[in-house]
Amino acid sequence: MTVPKTADVGGWFRTADDEVALKSAPDWGPGTGGFGLASSDDELAAALEVLRRRRTMVLTGAGMSTGSGLPDYRGPDAVPRSPMLLSEFLGSDLSRRRYWARSTAGWRWFKQARPGLTHASLAALDGPLDVVGVVTQNVDRLHQSAGSSRVIDLHGRLDHVRCLSCSATLCRHWLQTRFLSLNPSFAARMAFLEEEAVSAPDGDAEVDRTEDFRYPACRACGGTLKPDVVFFGENTRRPIVDAAFAMLERADALLVLGSSLTVMSGLRFCRRAARDGKPIIIVNDGATRGDALATTRLHGRLEHVLSRWAAMLPA
């Protein structure tokens, strides 16, 4: 079954804390090749045997959620996009209006996303394998919905909004109702704007020209509200990074699933594992920035690899 793609509205899925990514890929489009390769069952079985004998930390990227309709960044079908910088969001009222307008138009599509076969298969491996935890670069919370335990949301979570002044958090779902009440003419055209958000995810869409879109301030202090995710030009909060590295310290191996490792926020865990002499298994459809660090490099769609692993384990 083909899962319809969800709009990348407002730059939801463009989260990173490495400016190098902008310099190396300013168009945020498809990456270098290697797509379509598939590792053999023998190669998959050998890698699984490495994991079965070790405590494993799993690092996941956008490739985990493409089966749920959420866009990736570097797959063969990736659409070139221009990410919004943190400085742009903070420094321009018009940029915030555009961001929140696009977010409002696409919120229903995002909320419809459900865990896919990749999420379910990984959660099922939690018992047969000694998985110490999952560190995800995704902001969709689909790992938690699928039943994975001990998940660290490295780049935050899109269902939360945070005040940049007092750090108060609120539910993004509640904010959606507030956006619609503040913008009745926008709300009246939601059906059209929602469809346009999918067909023109980062282009010349009507929602981009909504310069009079109104957005609320923090109810507690009047400060600026921002999605509780990491924008380009923004650092991941130190306690979260520390918790992720502590998880890696407890592990004997690192398994990377569905990440091109283009940005340092993910690549640094591979570098630490390599420095500590821990096996690194990378599974991705397409080349990654960490391939030279991998002790085992597997190719193929995650749906296939994870389901084959599940079939190879004893019932």
Measured between alpha carbons, how far is residue 116 from residues 3, 120, 122 in Å?
10, 6, 10
- Whether residue 310 contacts residue 117, with contact meaning beta carbons closer than 8 Å, is answered with no
Residue type, 178: R
Q: Look at residue 153 and give its three-state secondary structure.
A: strand
Alpha-carbon gap, residue 52 to 38, rounded angstroms: 22
Residues 31-79 have pLDDT tens digits of 446 778 889 999 999 999 999 999 999 999 999 999 988 876 555 555 5
Residue 5: pLDDT band (50, 70, 90) is low
pLDDT exceeds 80 at position 169: yes
Residue 116: pLDDT band (50, 70, 90) is very high
Whole-number pLDDT of residue 26: 36
Domain range 82-112+159-229, CATH architecture: 2-Layer Sandwich (3.30)
* DSSP label of 232: B
Range of weakest confidence among 2-11, 104-113, 260-269, 274-283: 2-11
State the burial class of residue 133 (Cβ atoms within 10 Å of its Cβ: 0-12, 13-18, 19+): buried
Whole-number pLDDT of residue 23: 43
Q: Look at residue 261 and give its three-state secondary structure.
A: coil
* DSSP label of 114: -
pTM over 0.85? The answer is yes
State the burial class of residue 114 (Cβ atoms within 10 Å of its Cβ: 0-12, 13-18, 19+): middle
Whole-number pLDDT of residue 31: 44
Residue whose C-alpha is closest to residue 306's, from 287, 285, 275, 283: 283
Share of residues in the chain with pLDDT > 70 (%): 81
Residues 117-139 have pLDDT tens digits of 999 999 999 889 999 999 999 99
Whole-number pLDDT of residue 56: 98
CATH class held by domain 37-69+115-155+235-315: alpha beta
pLDDT exceeds 70 at position 188: yes
pLDDT averaged over the chain? Answer: 86
Catalytic residue IDs: 155
What tokens appear for 80 in the block?
A: 């070139």
Q: Where are the domains of the chain?
A: 37-69+115-155+235-315, 82-112+159-229
Residues 213-242 have pLDDT tens digits of 999 999 999 999 999 999 988 899 999 999
Report the 10 Å Cβ neighbour count for 23: 8
Beta bridge partners of 170: 161
pLDDT exceeds 70 at position 287: yes
Whole-number pLDDT of residue 194: 86
* DSSP label of 168: -
Residue whose C-alpha is closest to residue 232's, from 99, 111, 101, 143: 99
Quick one: CA dihedral 64, 66, 71, 76, positive or negative? positive
Sheet containing 225-229: which strands, arranged edge to edge? 169-171, 156-163, 225-229
What tokens appear for 235 in the block?
A: 């650092």
Residue 197: pLDDT band (50, 70, 90) is confident
Q: 163-194: buried (b, 16+ CB within 10 Å) or exposed (e) per residue?
A: beeeeeebebeebeeebeeebeebeeeeeebb
Alpha-carbon gap, residue 312 to 315, rounded angstroms: 9
Q: Is 133 left (phi over 0), alpha (psi -120 to 50) or beta?
A: left
Whole-number pLDDT of residue 196: 78
Residue 25: pLDDT band (50, 70, 90) is very low
